[in-house]
Structure 1
Amino acid sequence: MMLLMGVSVQCLMDLVVAGFSLVIGLGIFAFIASILCSAAFFYNAKDLSS
C-alpha cells in the first residue's frame, strides 16, 4: 500500500482503462487470427486428403 501513496487516483484509473482496452484489442486480434489460421488449416487439409 505504501507504493500506491504517491500515485493519484486519476493515474490508476487511466492504467485500468488502458489495460481493459488492451485486453479487448488483443482479444479481437486473437479471435480473427484463430479464424484465419483454422481456415488455412482446413484449406490445406482438404487439399492433402484428395
Structure 2
Amino acid sequence: MMMVLMGLNVQSVIDLVVAAISLMIGLGIFAFIASILCSAAFLHNARLVS
C-alpha cells in the first residue's frame, strides 16, 4: 500500500512539473507577442507625435 501511494505521489509531482513547464512556455510566448505588439504601438504613436 505504501509503494502505491509513493508511486502516485511521484506521478503527481511529475505531472505538476510538466504542467508548470508548459504553462511557463505558453506564458512566455504570450509575453513575447504582447511585448512586440506594445513596441509596435509605441513606435507608431511616437512617430505620429514627432
TM range (shorter): 0.7 to 0.9
Any stretches of 5+ residues in structure 2 without a counterpart?
none
Q: What per-residue deviation string (whole Å, max 9, x for no partner) do you get for residues 1-50 of structure 1? A: xxxx876100000000000000000000000000000000000000000x
Q: Which structure 1 residue ranges, 4+ long, deviate > 2 Å from structure 2?
A: none
Q: TM-score, length-normalised on structure 2?
A: 0.84
Q: Identity rate of aligned residues, in percent?
A: 67
How many equivalent residue pairs? 45
Q: TM-score, length-normalised on structure 1?
A: 0.84
Q: Confirm or deny that 1:17 pairs with 2:15.
A: no
Greater per-residue helix proportion:
2
Any stretches of 5+ residues in structure 1 without a counterpart?
none
- Cα distance in 2, alignment partners of residues 12 and 45 from structure 1: 48
> How well do the aligned residues superpose, as a CA RMSD in angstroms?
1.6
